[in-house]
Amino acid sequence: MTAEVEADEPLDWSLLISAMEAVLLLESRFGGITGAKAELADRMRDGILQVYARKAWDSCERDVAAAWEEDPDEGIASYAIEFELTVLPGAWRRSKQWLVDISEWRWPSGRFSTVQRRAPMLRYMFEAIHFQRAEIEALRDGTTHSANHGHERLLKSAAAEDETAGKSAGGKSAKIDLGGRPKDEDRWINFWHCVIKFAKDGLLTDTHFPTKAALNRGIRDEMTTPFSENAIKRKVAQVYKIFIDPRTTLDD
């Protein structure tokens, strides 16, 4: 895990805030506890927030509950534990089942984990997750830019794309339609239902869909009345970039 953590200087814990305290501070700003958790998770993965842990170790347990029952101090964990460290964004970005992982996070105790490899299993385990109090308070007060949830970013980028494509010769914007032509409305609804189903099932990972072409094919196979490959290529690229690999572009 050494590539995903830094432990150079002693941390001043008086300047930090626990994961649950952060959620409670942001609850009213982001529409409740669920929204606050989603906002924090997005920012952690995007590397916008500094994240700290009192303890971190690796586990080979397939079941997350069993992984938490390990006592790394007794040498049960696969690798040596580390104390009082900064967690780098790669620990979150390289999750092979991001949506499943975050659903299993224990916010009150600050116990977070991510699956880095499935075969053989490798989990990163983090205990007592904290954030910088100043960053959380700035986010609460609106003095820092808000990172939209993944699905909101997706819809906004799709809207911007459709608006650009819909510009008339006179420079006026046509009505924005995230679903294409009216007669295709049902098929676009079916498209997004498939994306949501994949997300809920934890399938939006590079293991299940190593390329955008694979995701394109997977969505079309799931659709009741599929579009052509080219018809959904751009929106598939947006889904892939946001949920699977932020390093990709929309055009390659």
Q: Is the dihedral of CA 237, 242, 244, 246 positive or negative?
A: positive
pLDDT in tens, the chain (252 residues): 554 556 556 778 889 999 999 999 999 998 899 889 989 998 898 888 899 999 899 999 999 999 998 766 655 444 456 677 889 888 998 899 888 899 999 999 999 999 999 889 999 999 999 999 999 999 998 875 444 444 444 444 444 444 444 443 444 433 333 444 445 777 888 888 888 888 877 788 888 888 999 999 999 998 888 899 999 998 898 888 877 876 666 555
Asked if 112 and 201 sit in the same domain, the reply is: no
What domain range includes position 29? 2-141
Q: Which residues contact 137 (CB under 8 A, 6 or more apart)?
A: 25
Q: Is the dihedral of CA 78, 80, 82, 88 positive or negative?
A: negative
Question: Which pLDDT does position 16 carry in this prediction?
Answer: 95
Cα end-to-end distance, the chain, whole Å: 31
Question: Which pLDDT does position 181 carry in this prediction?
Answer: 47
Question: Which pLDDT does position 180 carry in this prediction?
Answer: 47
Asked if 16 and 117 sit in the same domain, the reply is: yes
Whether cis (ω within 30° of 0) applies to the bond prior to 210 is no
Sole residue written with tokens 């920012």: 43
Asked if 137 and 160 sit in the same domain, the reply is: no
Asked if 8 and 130 sit in the same domain, the reply is: yes
Residue 250 in domain: no
Residue 197 in domain: yes
Asked if 221 and 124 sit in the same domain, the reply is: no
Asked if 164 and 76 sit in the same domain, the reply is: no
Asked if 168 and 62 sit in the same domain, the reply is: no
**Domain end residue (candidates: 122, 141, 160):** 141
Asked if 174 and 209 sit in the same domain, the reply is: yes
Determine the Cα–Cα distance for residues 246 and 248; give it in Å rounded to an integer.
6
Selection from 174, 173, 177, 139 nearest residue 155 by Cα: 177
Total domain count, the chain? 2
**Number of residues that this document lists for the chain:** 252
Q: What is the DSSP letter of 231?
A: G
Asked if 14 and 122 sit in the same domain, the reply is: yes
Report whether 81 contacts 55 (CB < 8 A).
Answer: yes
**Domain end residue (candidates: 120, 141, 162):** 141
Q: What radius of gyration do the chain's Cα atoms show?
A: 20
